[in-house]
Structure 1
Amino acid sequence: MNELTKQVAVTADGGQYFSAKHICDAIGLTWSGQRAKINTDSELSASRTDIYMTAAEDKKYEMIMLPIEKLSGWLFMITPNKCKPAVRPALSKYHEEAFAVLDAWFRKGYRNVDSLMRD
């Protein structure tokens, strides 16, 4: 498990969640803009869970957590040029692959292949 995964993965109420803020911090993206995007997006805002963490100094922090199933879509919404230069190539490659997968799923009909729907 890498350091980023340790920072953002949480299991609660039988679900797995990630902290978008921690990912934003790691990739150099401003949290305020992403928080606004999450709060105004109907899918993301409806699925968010707020978890309260207590830091060493007994200060409580609210963390906006999203279901791990939303991670791929949320990452797809991020503009690579708004991230750290070191992250841009990987995020651009992710976008290329996501476009190909979405095309295969919706246009080429892979969504109708039963074996792909199994966990």
Structure 2
Amino acid sequence: MNTPVMNSAHLRAVARLTFGNTASRIYLGVVAATAVFVAVDTLFVAHEDASFAGVWLFFLAAPTVFAFLAGGSVWGADAPGPDWFVYLALVVSVLVQSFALGWFVRLLRGGAGRTRSAHPQGT
């Protein structure tokens, strides 16, 4: 039985789709800038009430973050899970969406179904 193995070519393709195109880089840049904003707001700004700055990260990670957080319901119905699980769900969902965005851009450009010519390049 021949099972597919994730070799270096597959890993490079996944990395290229996740980080290697302009749309994914812009998305990841917006997420990084928002994370810095949330960190500064949380650490250095005094609020009388709770700040809703962290909600922006969830907006940027939606809808996949909600699927991951629903999986975190094994820790109880009251909370989405431990803090480490929420942070991990945010990171993984942003990476999944960056990959999906890169794949969609490739699909729009015609890269997914493009066929190669039967003639070698040198002739």
TM-score by length of 2: 0.26
TM-score by length of 1: 0.27
**Larger Cα Rg: Structure 1 or Structure 2?**
2
Between Structure 1 and Structure 2, the one with more strand by share is: 1
Between Structure 1 and Structure 2, the one with more helix by share is: 2
